[in-house]
Amino acid sequence: MPSIRTVAALAGVSTATVSNVLNARRSVAPDLVARVQSAVAELGYIADLGASRLRSRRSTVVGVVVPDIANPFFGTLVAALEDAARRDGYDLLVVSSGEDPALETARLRTLLTWRPAGLIVAPCDDRLAGRALVQAAGVPMVCADRVPADPAFDVVTVDNRTIAAEVGRHLVATGRRRILIAAANLAIGNNRDRCAGVRDTAEPAGATVEIIEVGVRLAESRARLTRRLTFGPVPDALFTLNNVGTVAALSALAEVRLAVPEDLALVGFDDAEWMRAVSPPLSTVHQPLEQMARAAWGRLMARIGGDTSPPHHLRLACRLDSRASSAPARRLALAHWH
Amino acid sequence: MPSIRTVAALAGVSTATVSNVLNARRSVAPDLVARVQSAVAELGYIADLGASRLRSRRSTVVGVVVPDIANPFFGTLVAALEDAARRDGYDLLVVSSGEDPALETARLRTLLTWRPAGLIVAPCDDRLAGRALVQAAGVPMVCADRVPADPAFDVVTVDNRTIAAEVGRHLVATGRRRILIAAANLAIGNNRDRCAGVRDTAEPAGATVEIIEVGVRLAESRARLTRRLTFGPVPDALFTLNNVGTVAALSALAEVRLAVPEDLALVGFDDAEWMRAVSPPLSTVHQPLEQMARAAWGRLMARIGGDTSPPHHLRLACRLDSRASSAPARRLALAHWH
DNA sequence: ATGAAAGCGCTAACAA
DNA sequence: TTGTTAGCGCTTTCAT
């Protein structure tokens, strides 16, 4: 591949001038600009950003860590981040932690190896074991979705407790009294807050709230939920705390032959297009993912730009999309779902 | 951050020795190894892979281009690629083309800027406009999922025509005669092959096959499908050629009040967990994504390793998971779905 | 087995 | 305004 020297030689200028033309840093005479540009075009020259970063000490790559890029929740988050990054001239190095804290730390170390300008991390638990590594490297980091226990970093998340309280209110208002919450993993603060929110409104209204931890994997969640529904008392409402749990719930409910919403109401945290397309359409808590991505990106850009203000802690509002899966059981036989 | 010189100074050795210890290239005396290692630990030294690549001319980053990382199909593909990459000590620079050929080319150019060891691309159409760029750069490229018209590169895809023929056979065998195919975009060879496959088996059996192009976006697909189902003759089978189309179909069918499978059978290309969890479970063509990722990665590693054999063209077999959404209409009133 | 020195491609001082 | 030179952090000769 041609280097900046090849271009300089062909254009009959110095490498500094080529650099200045390409980066528009210093003003260059119009005829030299033209000569450089045609040399670039003729050679198909593409600058080496690695070398550029090395010398200029300005990095244009940002590392992103998510628990699982195959999960559409994180896929959508990453897509929105990429959009923001592209606008600002950054590229994204994306890694998955597989919901494993040890792997998360290892992946963070790998990312630091590329000298990113910053990091955006959706931690796999509240501990965020790799935090020390990042702090030692002095690389700005913004946490998204999940909140590390001691947020010494900027954090962008949602108002879990408030929206879960609304779910509790909704379930009670539609006549449900025995609420089962399927939480993936209570080591995640989000999930504890969501449970607390439901309790806030459901218990004072006389409903019972039971919580089971079903794990982060689909197969395991389905199995635990099936077991619980087979052997325990049957609830009249089920609230799943993430999209994997919602799929697990649908499978488990079909397996034990419980009808939604006749036998029990189903509400899921995390929204997806298919959830409103199926019958019955599923009631969901919609998280503002694009907004979360933009906010996280904005904070990171601010930090990269030298902002040293105390950590920002942003909580975005969710929206409860109440659909047929949590309609009152008694009215349902007659109602149309669409 | 400490550099290799900081480590060398602390360990009392030369930078060459530090490099040799860290990369295990030349043999180093045990005591020096120990001193280097403790210096590394003490300083929290993390090597700069950009500088390393610059000097050694060995890149450990691979660029990945997908139409949309938020689409679980590509999310899963990328997750599988990341897994393979990590095992081989590579990192992934992932970009989305947004199903836009111009953006695809721009993103490819951006990737080349990082001097990747190779590229894995799921093109957004058969033209793959950026191919010239990649060839000029001399960077090995493997295409996955979609096949460029003139495959001068290694390609890993699925046997679309064969599995679509099986879908046609299945629909005919279960009593369907008026098949509607909802193709996203016929500029994608995959979709043309899938249509041809259905025709291969359905038309000789006396069924009619109609094809409509619904576009790659959900809202548009839903609208076009609704319009077609409202104003055209009602088919008794619908085959959607990707996961977005399947969601669009569910919405459209609910909107026009057609019941699956009583009024028509529904079969979707692309599988997802939720498709087997909903009622009725959806019949789907399952693509071997993990296998596709492993094969693409394997080809890329071979090319990076110097393999100059003629382009490989791999077609993997899909599996039709026939579920209740394409059960024979007449038997259905009595059948259990699960 | 180890170190000194050169140089990967680029940009930032500094000189002219 | 332009060119010359040094050097970012690393690896690789080449010498010892």
- List the structure tokens of B160: 């679309």
Residue B61: pLDDT above 90? Answer: yes
Residue A331: pLDDT above 70? Answer: no
What span, in angstroms and rounded, lies between the C-alpha atoms of A270 and A257? 24
**Residue B176 near residue B207 (C-beta atoms within 8 A):** yes
Residue B55's pLDDT is 98
Residue B332: pLDDT above 70? Answer: no
Whole domain around residue A15: which residue ranges?
A: 4-47
Angle at B50 between CA B47 and CA B56, to 5 degrees: 90
As a whole number, mean pLDDT of residues A161-187 equals 97
Q: Residue B311, Cα to own-chain centre: how many angstroms?
A: 19
> Do B97 and B145 share a domain, yes or no?
yes
Could you tell me the CATH number of the domain that includes residue A166? 3.40.50.2300
* Per-residue confidence band for B149, with pLDDT thresholds at 50, 70 and 90: confident
**Residue A84 near residue A297 (C-beta atoms within 8 A):** yes
Q: Do A79 and B68 touch (CB under 8 A)?
A: yes
For the sheet with B237-240, list strands across it.
B208-213, B178-183, B237-240, B265-269, B283-286, B319-321
Instruction: Tell me the helices (H) and strands (E) count for chain B, helix number first.
Output: 13, 12
> Do A184 and A301 share a domain, yes or no?
no
Could you report how far apart the first and last alpha carbons of chain B are, in Å? 59
User: In this structure, is the dihedral angle defined by the CA atoms of residues A316, A322, A325 and A329, taken in order, positive or negative?
Assistant: positive
Residue A337's pLDDT is 42
Residue A151's pLDDT is 86
B residues 3..62 contacting A (CB < 8 A): 44, 46-51, 53-54, 61
Closest CB to A115 among B48, B93, B338 = B48
Cite the beta strand spans of chain A per DSSP E. 61-66, 91-96, 118-121, 141-144, 154-158, 178-183, 208-213, 237-240, 265-269, 283-286, 313-316, 319-321
**Closest residue, chain B, to A51 (C-alpha):** B54
> Do B143 and B172 share a domain, yes or no?
no
As a whole number, mean pLDDT of residues B233-260 equals 98
As a whole number, mean pLDDT of residues B145-159 equals 93
As a whole number, mean pLDDT of residues A97-110 equals 97
Q: Is residue A52 part of a domain?
A: no
Give the closest nucleotide to A20 (alpha carbon vs C1').
Answer: C11
Q: Is residue B258 part of a domain?
A: yes
Q: Is residue A54 part of a domain?
A: no
As a whole number, mean pLDDT of residues A50-79 equals 98
Q: Is residue B29 part of a domain?
A: yes
Q: Is residue B53 part of a domain?
A: no
**Closest residue, chain A, to B80 (C-alpha):** A70
List phi, psi (to 5°) of A240. -100, 135
For the CA atoms of A151, A154, A157, A162, the dihedral, rounded to the nearest 10 degrees, stands at 70
**Residue B42 near residue B10 (C-beta atoms within 8 A):** yes
Residue A333: pLDDT above 90? Answer: no
Bases of chain C with protein Cβ within 7 A: 1-13
3-state secondary structure of B94: strand
Q: Is residue B170 part of a domain?
A: yes
Length of chain A: 338
Question: How many domains is chain B partitioned into structurally?
Answer: 3
List, for residues B102-148, the tens digit of each pLDDT value: 999 999 999 999 999 999 999 999 999 999 999 999 999 999 999 98
A234 DSSP 8-state letter: P
Report the percentage of chain B scoring pLDDT > 70. 97
Q: In whole angstroms, how large is the CA radius of gyration of chain A?
A: 25
Report the percentage of chain A scoring pLDDT > 70. 97
> What's the maximum distance between 2 C-alpha atoms anywhere in chain B?
84
> What's the maximum distance between 2 C-alpha atoms anywhere in chain A?
84
> Do A148 and A297 share a domain, yes or no?
yes
User: In this structure, is the dihedral angle defined by the CA atoms of residues B69, B74, B80 and B86, taken in order, positive or negative?
Assistant: negative
Q: Is residue B278 part of a domain?
A: yes
Chain B residues 3 to 32 with C-beta below 7 Å from nucleic strand D? 3-5, 15-16, 18-20, 22-23, 25
Residues whose CB is less than 8 angstroms from the CB of residue B87 and which lie 6 or more positions away in sequence, other chains included: none
Residue B333's pLDDT is 42
**Residue B168 near residue B201 (C-beta atoms within 8 A):** yes
Q: At what angle do helices A15-23 and A30-43 cross, to 10 degrees?
A: 90
Residue A336: pLDDT above 90? Answer: no
Three-state secondary structure string covering B285-320: EECCHHHHHHHHHHHHHHHHCCCCCCCCEEEECCEE
As a whole number, mean pLDDT of residues A161-182 equals 98
CB-CB neighbors (< 8 A) of B133 in chain A: 44
> Do B179 and B327 share a domain, yes or no?
yes
**Residue B179 near residue B166 (C-beta atoms within 8 A):** no
Q: Protein A298 CA to nucleic acid D7 C1', in Å?
A: 33
Could you report how far apart the first and last alpha carbons of chain A are, in Å? 59
Q: What is the mean pLDDT of chain A?
A: 96
**Closest residue, chain B, to A278 (C-alpha):** B250
Q: Is residue B313 part of a domain?
A: yes
Closest CB to A53 among B50, B72, B251 = B50
What span, in angstroms and rounded, lies between the C-alpha atoms of B99 and B207? 33
Residue B150: pLDDT above 90? Answer: no
List phi, psi (to 5°) of A74. -75, -30
Residue B46: pLDDT above 50? Answer: yes
CB-CB neighbors (< 8 A) of A46 in chain B: 109, 112-113, 137
Residue A332's pLDDT is 43
> Do B215 and B308 share a domain, yes or no?
no
Residues whose CB is less than 8 angstroms from the CB of residue B252 and which lie 6 or more positions away in sequence, other chains included: B222, B225, B226, B229
> Do A267 and A302 share a domain, yes or no?
no
Q: Protein B55 CA to nucleic acid C7 C1', in Å?
A: 8
What span, in angstroms and rounded, lies between the C-alpha atoms of A158 and A335? 33
Residue A248: pLDDT above 80? Answer: yes
List, for residues A273-310, the tens digit of each pLDDT value: 999 999 999 999 999 999 999 999 999 999 999 999 99
List, for residues B164-211, the tens digit of each pLDDT value: 999 999 999 999 999 999 999 999 999 999 999 999 999 999 999 999
Residue B275: pLDDT above 80? Answer: yes
> Do A22 and A93 share a domain, yes or no?
no
Residue A73, min C-alpha distance to chain B (Å): 8
User: In this structure, is the dihedral angle defined by the CA atoms of residues A133, A139, A145 and A150, taken in order, positive or negative?
Assistant: positive
**Residue B175 near residue B326 (C-beta atoms within 8 A):** no
> Do B119 and B227 share a domain, yes or no?
no
Q: At what angle do helices B72-87 and A72-87 cross, to 10 degrees?
A: 80
> Do A106 and A180 share a domain, yes or no?
no
Residue B330: pLDDT above 90? Answer: no
DSSP states of B6-67 = HHHHHHTS-HHHHHHHHHT-S---HHHHHHHHHHHHHHT----HHHHHHHH----EEEEEES
The residue lying closest to nucleotide D13, measuring its CA against C1', is B16
Residue A171: pLDDT above 80? Answer: yes
Side-chain-side CA neighbours of B28 within 13 Å: the count stands at 21
As a whole number, mean pLDDT of residues A82-96 equals 98
Residue B210's pLDDT is 98
Cβ burial of A194 (10 Å; 0-12, 13-18, 19+) is buried
Residue A150's pLDDT is 85
> Do B173 and B280 share a domain, yes or no?
yes
What type of residue is B96? Answer: S
DSSP states of B229-271 = HHHSPPPSEEEESSHHHHHHHHHHHHHTT--TTTT-EEEEES-
Residue A134: pLDDT above 60? Answer: yes
Cβ burial of A66 (10 Å; 0-12, 13-18, 19+) is buried
List, for residues B297-328, the tens digit of each pLDDT value: 999 999 999 999 999 999 999 999 999 999 99
> Do A191 and A328 share a domain, yes or no?
yes
Report the percentage of chain A scoring pLDDT > 90. 96
Q: Is the CB of B60 under 7 A from strand D?
A: no
Residue B338: pLDDT above 80? Answer: no
